[in-house]
């Protein structure tokens, strides 16, 4: 005779809130741009250049051809931004016990599990949206690097690679070859020259690699796709069918700059009641930021259409 077991706990949930996968602020996390901290409004990038030719020595100073020493600046305009939500802990009191609000009936607070999930989820949501703002702009005062790169520059404009259309696995290698060919020797030899593009273009390149009879060397290094010795960094923030090559990094030689008050603010989530008698909690994250470039002539862009 078979034994029969019954239980009233057939639908007991795992006491954890599972968060969806979201993309980070890649340009900060992977050191695509230098973060300049401690600024609130406008930031001036001071630029200094020397231009001259070597010639035969002349004992009289100034009798030869004098070179030029040039100082100018580019401005980064910053803006204050925020992301807000609200939550009523009482809404979860009919759910499983690990989500029940804590405290007295008149003063409910989110449970520890709910509080942790709120702080984590809001910070990740802010950073994934921030990455798009950094590249494409969209708020008053935030130009975005795509606009900064394309803007006229008194020291020289961006280099635009030949446009051969929408990037696909069939033409992606040609696109990347044109980008690398357009880059200046200084960009290729100094610092950390990198190709920064969309996830879709990176995936097209990986697909094209699989179709090659001979993949050669330096295809990937520590999981980072490479093309001709240059790393390919992808981000969801760049507009479709666009790619750039420039000196990336978190140091002074990085061509892209982001001015902020405090980089950690993009993870600092505030949760509190607007009024002690309210049931609803407000959730807020605030960040001050602006974008800019140093020398556009040291950047290559591909604008596929």
When pLDDT is cut at 50, 70 and 90, the band that residue 211 belongs to is: confident
Q: How much is the average pLDDT of 265-290?
A: 94
When pLDDT is cut at 50, 70 and 90, the band that residue 12 belongs to is: confident
The yes-or-no verdict on residue 219 having pLDDT over 90 is no
Separation between Cα atoms, residue 231 and residue 213, nearest integer Å: 22
When pLDDT is cut at 50, 70 and 90, the band that residue 213 belongs to is: low
Residue 176 token pair: 């990347």
Higher confidence at residue 297 or residue 222?
Answer: 297
Separation between Cα atoms, residue 97 and residue 145, nearest integer Å: 47
Q: How much is the average pLDDT of 94-115?
A: 91
Per-residue pLDDT, 220: 54
What percent of the chain clears pLDDT 70, i.e. is strictly above it?
93
User: For residues 168, 174, 178 and 180, what is the CA-based torsion angle, rounded to 10 degrees?
Assistant: 90
pTM of the predicted model as reported, rounded to 2 decimal places: 0.89
Q: Summarize pLDDT for 154-180 with one digit per residue, the tens.
A: 999 999 999 999 999 999 999 999 999
Higher confidence at residue 150 or residue 4?
Answer: 150
The yes-or-no verdict on residue 2 having pLDDT over 90 is no
Separation between Cα atoms, residue 167 and residue 58, nearest integer Å: 55
Per-residue pLDDT, 13: 84
Q: How much is the average pLDDT of 138-150?
A: 95
Per-residue pLDDT, 6: 60
Q: Summarize pLDDT for 175-197 with one digit per residue, the tens.
A: 999 999 999 999 999 889 999 99
Task: Tell me the three state secondary structure of residue 75.
Answer: strand
Q: Summarize pLDDT for 29-46 with one digit per residue, the tens.
A: 999 999 999 998 889 999
What percent of the chain clears pLDDT 90, i.e. is strictly above it?
80
Task: Output the CA angle 298-26-48, nearest 5 degrees.
Answer: 30
Separation between Cα atoms, residue 60 and residue 64, nearest integer Å: 8
The yes-or-no verdict on residue 5 having pLDDT over 90 is no
The yes-or-no verdict on residue 145 having pLDDT over 60 is yes
């Amino acid at each position: 005779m078979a034994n029969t077991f019954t239980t009233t706990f057939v639908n007991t949930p795992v006491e954890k809130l599972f968060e969806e996968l979201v993309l980070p602020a890649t340009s900060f996390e992977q050191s695509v741009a230098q973060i300049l901290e401690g600024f609130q409004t406008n930031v001036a990038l001071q630029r200094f250049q020397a231009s001259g030719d070597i010639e035969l020595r002349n004992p009289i100073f100034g009798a030869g051809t004098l070179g030029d020493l040039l100082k100018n600046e580019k401005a980064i305009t910053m803006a204050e931004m925020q992301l807000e939500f609200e939550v009523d802990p009482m809404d979860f009191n009919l759910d499983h016990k690990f989500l029940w609000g804590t405290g007295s009936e008149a003063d409910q607070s989110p449970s520890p599990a709910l509080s942790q999930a709120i702080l984590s989820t809001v910070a990740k949501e802010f950073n994934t949206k921030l990455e798009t703002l950094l590249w494409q702009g969209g708020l008053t005062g935030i130009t975005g690097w795509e606009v900064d790169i394309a803007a006229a520059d008194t020291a020289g404009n961006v280099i635009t690679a030949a446009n051969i259309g929408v990037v696909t696995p069939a033409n992606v290698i040609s696109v990347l070859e044109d980008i690398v060919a357009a880059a200046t020797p200084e960009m290729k030899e100094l610092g950390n020259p990198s190709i920064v593009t969309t996830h879709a273009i990176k995936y097209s390149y990986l697909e094209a690699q699989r179709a090659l009879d001979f993949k050669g060397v330096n295809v990937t290094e520590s999981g980072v796709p490479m093309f001709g010795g240059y790393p390919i960094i992808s981000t969801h923030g760049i507009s479709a069918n666009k790619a750039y090559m420039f000196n990336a990094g978190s140091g002074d030689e990085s061509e892209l700059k982001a001015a902020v008050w405090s980089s950690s603010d993009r993870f600092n989530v505030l949760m509190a009641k607007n009024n002690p008698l309210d049931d609803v909690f407000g959730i807020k994250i605030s960040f001050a930021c602006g974008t800019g470039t140093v020398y556009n002539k040291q950047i290559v862009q591909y604008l596929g259409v």
